[in-house]
Amino acid sequence: MDKYLADYRPMSGVKFKANLKVSADLGWKPEKGHLMVFTVENDSRALVVLIPPKLSGIFFTKGQTYQVSLEVGEGGLVYADTCEKE
């Protein structure tokens, strides 16, 4: 989180896993997926993640924590590849 917020560019294309807690749902489009806001444990700062349509079966509830595989995409947009409820 720190590295990303400091500068996302070195992390572009990098895949990593993180435990994220649902903070807010910014919106949804069937062809784009869910745009969610997560926080990491012990850090109040937020991270915006795009949940692709393939993961549309997951019902995110605010406050729940998920283990998510992430990839930093173009323009610093973070995509979720897999997502499992803890």
Partner 1 sequence: MQTHVKKSNFLILALTLPCQIILAQSAPTPAPAPSAPPTSAPTTGSPTEIDSSTKTILDTIMNTKPAEGSAGKAGSEVASALADKIKAVDVLKTPGLDDPEVRARFQTYLSLKEVADLRIKEYFSKMAQVSDLLQAGHTFDAWKILYLMGEYKDLDAGISRELANRVESIWNSDQTKNRLEISNSTLQNNIETYNHNADMIAEDIRDEANVQAQKGKANTGGGGNNSSGVTAQNATNSPLASPNADPAAAEAAVMPTMASSLQGKMELTSEYLKLLEAHAKIKLNQMQENKMSDQDRLNFADYIKTLYNSHRYYHVIIAADFYRNLFNEGDYPADLADQAAASLGTNARTLAQSATQASAALGAAGGTGPLAALNQVGNNLAGDHAGKQQGGQPITLADEVTASLEINNRVSQAIEVFRYKADKGEIAAAAEQLQQAFLGNEYHPALQGLPRNEKEKVGDFLGKLEVLKNQLEVRDFEQIEGQITDIKKIAVDFDATKPMAMVNGIKLESRLRLGKARLLAQGGHLNESMQEFQTAAEEWPGNPDLQTSAAGFFSTEDLQNQSTAEFDRLVKDQNYRAIFDKQLAFAPAVKGDTNREQQLKDALTKVQKAEMASEKANLMVMNGDVDGAWETIEIAAKDWPDDMKLNKLLANLSGRSADFVSALNKARDAEAKKELGYSLTWYVNAQGYYPASIIANDGIDRLKKQILSPDSAGTSEGTN
For 33, residues 6+ apart whose C-beta sits below 8 A from its C-beta are: 50, 51, 52, 53, 54, 55, 56
> How far apart are CB 77 and partner 1 at their closest, in Å?
3
Tokens 């069937």 sit on residue? 30
Joined together, the tokens standing for residue 86 give 């803890």
User: Candidates 3-11, 13-21, 51-59, 63-71 — which segment interacts with partner 1 by CB under 8 A?
Assistant: 3-11
Joined together, the tokens standing for residue 27 give 């919106």
Joined together, the tokens standing for residue 2 give 């720190």
Q: Which of 3, 15, 45, 85 binds partner 1 (CB under 8 A)?
A: 45
Applying CB under 8 A, does 85 fall inside the site for partner 1? no
Applying CB under 8 A, does 46 fall inside the site for partner 1? yes
Residues 13-32 that bind partner 1 (CB under 8 A): 24-29, 32
24 and 34 Cβ atoms separated by less than 8 Å: no
Interface residues toward partner 1, by CB under 8 A: 4-5, 8, 24-29, 32, 35, 37, 44-48, 50, 62, 73-78
